[in-house]
Structure 1
Amino acid sequence: MRFNTFVGSVGDLERCRVCPNLKEVLLEPTLLARRGQLTVAEVRSLSEAAKKWGLRPVLVWDILMPERLMAEICDRISDWNIGQFAAIRVCDPGAAEWLTIHYPNLPIQLILETGNHNFEALMGWCELFAGSLERLILSTELPEHQLIEYCQKLPVPCEVLGVGRILLFYSPRSLLSSIVSEGENRQFIETTARTEESGNRPLPTLETPHGTFLFLDKDWFILDQLDGLKNAGLHTLRLDLRHLGNNGDVAVDVDRICRQISEDPVMLKKNWPVEARSPFFNANRTTSIFPRMKSKSKIARYRDEFCVAEALAGESGKYVVFQTLRPFHISEIDKIVIPTGKTVEIPETVVFKNLSGEGVERCDRDQILITDWIKKVTPGSLILRR
C-alpha cells in the first residue's frame, strides 16, 4: 500500500521525497481544483521538481463544470504540457471523456467520493473509461468491509482517504464573500460557522473561487486501522494535510507522519492536532433509522373503502386538519387509527367544519375539514367508517 498527498511548495516535495511509501504528489491549480491555490507556473515548476526527485506528479482537476465553463477551461489548458503529469484526477465525467479523446494515453484517476457507493455503479465507470482508468478514489462513507470487497473485486486499483477533513457540505456558490470586510482576501476565505442544528459547534468553513465548503470539527483518521485494507490490496491511501499547512506548505510533517504510521499509529492519533474519528469505517448506520420511519406502514392495511379521511396537519391543543378521501356522513364515523396502529375514539363533542367555519354533516371527496384538537392524532392518521 502506498501513500500520496497534496503539495504546494518545494519544501513539501523535499519532505515527500524522504517518505519510503510516498511516491505520488497531488498538484492543485486554482483554475482546475476546488481548493487549488497554485498558479500555472507553480504547477509546472513543482511537477518538474517532483519528477527530478523520483515522485509522480498528478494534476488535480476536480471542479464540476457546466458546458460553457468546460469549453472555456479546455481552451485555456490546450497549450499546457499535459504530458508532463503522470496522471490527472477528475471528478466531472465530461472532463474525463475530454481527456480520453484528446490525451488517450494519459492515465485518469476518477474521483467517486460523492455517490457511486454500490458495486454496479463503480463497475459502470470502470467499463466506460476502461482504456484510460488508472484508479478509483472511493468514498469515506463506505465501511471497511465494503472497501475490502471493492478492492478485491474491482478491475482497477482503489484509493481512499487515510486522514483529513470530513466534508459536510459543498456549494459552488460563494456564500462568505458578501459578508467579509472589504480589506480581506475574497479569493480564499477561512472562518467557522455555527448553527443551532449542530449545537453551535464551530465548524470550519472555506470559500474558494469554486465554491463554499463546510467541514466537521473532527478529522477523519483510519491510520491506526489499516491491516484489513492492506491485506485486501488497497493501492493508495491519501494523506490530506492541507488544513494543517502554513505559508504555502500543505504537507507539513508528512515525513514524520509516514514514519509514525508504521511505528506507532495509535500514538499518532492520540497526538493528532485535531480530534480524530472514523465515523463510517466500522459501519455506516445512516440507514438504521429507516425501520422507525415507516410507522405509517402499520396502518397501510386500513387504506380501503372504509377509510374516509386522512389527517394532514395539526397544532397541539388547537386543531386538526383532515382531507376527505371519499364521500361519507359524520354519523358513519367514530374512530381514528393513528400511525402507530392504535385507534383513538372521536370525542362526541368534536365538530367537523369546512374552510368557512361552518359545521358539516355530509362530506364530499377531496374536501378539507377542520376540527378541534383530538389528542394523539398526528399527520397520517386515518378516519375510518364503521
Structure 2
Amino acid sequence: MIRVGAANCFEDLSVLAQAGAREVLLGSADLSRYGTLPQDQLIIMAREARQLGLKAVLEWDILMIQPEFEKAVTILKALPLNEFDAIRVQDPGAFEWVLQNLPAIKIQLNLETGNHNLEGVLTWCRYGGNNLERVMLSSQLPASTLREWIQKIPTGVEVLGLGPVLILYTPRHLLTNQLPEAEAAEHLRATASSEESFHSGFRVLENKHGTLVFLGKDYCLMELIEEIETLGLAALRLDLRLNENAETLKAMAGLFKVTSHVAAADILENYPVETTRCFYKSNNTDKAFVRLKNENLTRRDENYLGEVVEAAKDSHLIIHVRARGQKLMAGQKLCLINPQGEEHQVTVSSLQTIESQDAAEIAAGDFGVVPYVRLCPAKSTVYLVHQ
C-alpha cells in the first residue's frame, strides 16, 4: 500500500519525497477543486516530482456544465500530458473524454460520492478496462464493507487516510453572494452552522469552481494503521492542502511511513483540526436520527402557530400558518424560536399577504408577510404569546 500526498508548492514536493510518499496530486486552479497552481507552475512541478521519485498525478475533478467542460478540454490539449503518470477524474464526462482521447494515460476515478453499492463500482471498472488504474472509495464505507469490496474490485482501491470530509460541493458561489463586491476574492473561507441541527463549525471554501463545505473535523484512519494495512488497499491518501498553516505538512510528514498506531498518535498530537473516523467502524446512521434532531425546531402544540419559511434581511419574514384553527393577525404578540434555541418576542406591526396586499389576518394554511426580525432565519418556529 503506497501513500499519496498532495502539493501546492515546490516545498511540498520536497517534504513528501523525503517523508516517503510515492505519489503526489497536482491540481491547477483551472482543473482542480482544491488546487491553486497556475499552468506553468503545474508543469514544472510535475517534472520536479518525477525527478524526486514521485509519481505525478494531474487532478481534473471539478463539476462542469458544457461551457466549463469545453474550456477544460482546451486546457488539457495544451498541456504536455506526458509529464504526468496518471490523471484523476470524477465527472463521468471527463472520464469518457480521457478514455476516448488519451488512451496512453492511466486513469484514477474518484467514486467517493454517489457510489455506495458494489455493482455500481464494478460497472465503472468494467467500463474503464485496462486504462483504469485505481478507484477512490467513500469514507462512508465501514471497514467490513471495504474489506469485502476490495477483494472483488479488479483494480486498485484508494481511500482517504487523513484530510477534510467533503459534505457539499455546488457550482454556486454561496459566499460571494453574501459579500459586498469589494470584498469578493478568488478564494474565500468561512465557517457555518446548520439550521436543521445543533451542528456547527462546518468549513466553507469558495473558489472559481463554486462552493465546497467540509465537516468541522478531518477524517483520520492513521491511528488504525495496522488494521488499514491488512485491508488490501493499493493506496492511502493524506491530503493536507486545506490546512491554512503551511507548516502542517512538515509536522505530519512522519505519517507517510508510520507503521504503528502509537507513533501515529504521537504525530497527530500536533494536528491543527479535530479528527473523526466517521463510519469506518460501523455505519449506524439510521440509529442517530433521534439524536440528531434539533429539539429547538420540535413543534410544541401549545400556542404553536407556524414557522418562518423565508427571511429577507432588513425587509420581511414570511410565516406559514400551520396550526389548524389558528390565525396570524396584525397586533398579535409572537415568540419566534430560531434553530439555535434563542427566543425573540415581537408584535406584528404590519401584515400582508404574499401578493403584497395589506391584511388584518392570515388563515391556517396560508402565508403572511411581517416585518423582518433579526436572528430569526428560515426554519424558526412561531408561537402565539397570550397577554
Q: Same fold (TM over 0.5)?
A: yes
Quick one: which amino acid aligns to residue 217 of structure 1?
G
1:200 and 1:288 map into 2 onto residues whose CA distance is: 17
* CA deviation vs aligned residue, 1:161-209 (integer Å, no higher than 9, x gap): 0011122222110011133354445210011123343426232111011
1:13-24 matches, within 5 Å, as 13-20=13-20, 22-24=21-23
List per-residue Cα deviations over 1:275-312 (Å, max 9, x = no partner): 11112101111234799xxxxxxxxxxxxxxxxxxxxx
Q: Which residue of 1 aligns with 2:351?
A: none
Rg bigger for which structure? Answer: 1
Mapped partners of 1:80, 1:250: distance in 2: 30
Residue pair 1:108, 1:134 contacting (<8 A) in 2 also: yes
Maintained 8 Å contact 2:31/2:62: yes
Equivalence for 2:333:
none
Contact 1:16 1:254 in 2 (8 A): no
Could you tell me the percent identity over the aligned residues?
Answer: 35
- What is the alpha-carbon distance in structure 2 between the residues aligned to residue 63 and residue 219 of structure 1? 21
Corresponding residue of 2:346: none
Contact 1:245 / 1:251 at 8 angstroms: preserved in 2? no
Q: Amino acid of the residue matched to residue 5 of structure 1?
A: G
TM-score w.r.t. length of structure 2 = 0.71
Q: Which residue of 1 aligns with 2:126?
A: 127
Distance 1:267 1:317 in 2: 62
Superposition RMSD on alpha carbons, in Å? 2.7
Unpaired stretches in structure 1, ≥5 consecutive residues: 292-312, 320-369, 371-386
Aligned to 1:27: 26
Question: What residue number does 2:256 align with?
Answer: 258
Structure 2: runs of 5+ lacking an equivalent: 291-320, 328-364, 366-387
Kindly indicate whether the alpha-carbon contact (under 8 Å) linking 2:226 and 2:259 is maintained by their aligned counterparts in 1: no
Aligned counterpart for 1:315 among listed residues 302, 316, 323: 323
Alignment of 1:1-386 (within 5 A): 1-20=1-20, 22-184=21-183, 186-199=185-198, 201-246=200-245, 251-260=249-258, 262=260, 264-288=263-287, 315=323
Indicate conservation of the 8 Å contact 1:147/1:229, yes or no: no
Q: State the SS of the aligned residue for 2:25.
A: strand
Question: Contact between 2:164 and 2:219, CA under 8 Å: does it hold in 1?
Answer: yes
Q: 1:111 to 1:36 in 2, by over 3 A?
A: same
Report if the CA contact (8 A) 2:168-2:212 is conserved.
yes
Deviation at 1:274, TM superposition (A): 1.4
Q: Please state how far the C-alpha of 1:80 moved relative to its aligned partner.
A: 1.1
- Structure-1-length-normalised TM-score: 0.71
Q: Contact conserved, 1:19 with 1:255, CA < 8 A, in 2?
A: yes
Give the SS at the match of 2:229: helix
Q: Which amino acid in 1 is paired with 2:253?
A: D
Aligned residues: 299
Which amino acid is the alignment partner of residue 107 of structure 1?
A: K
Query: Are the structure 2 counterparts of residues 289 and 316 from structure 1 closer, same or farther at C-alpha, using a change threshold of 3 Å?
Result: farther
**Separation in 2, partners of 1:182, 1:64:** 25
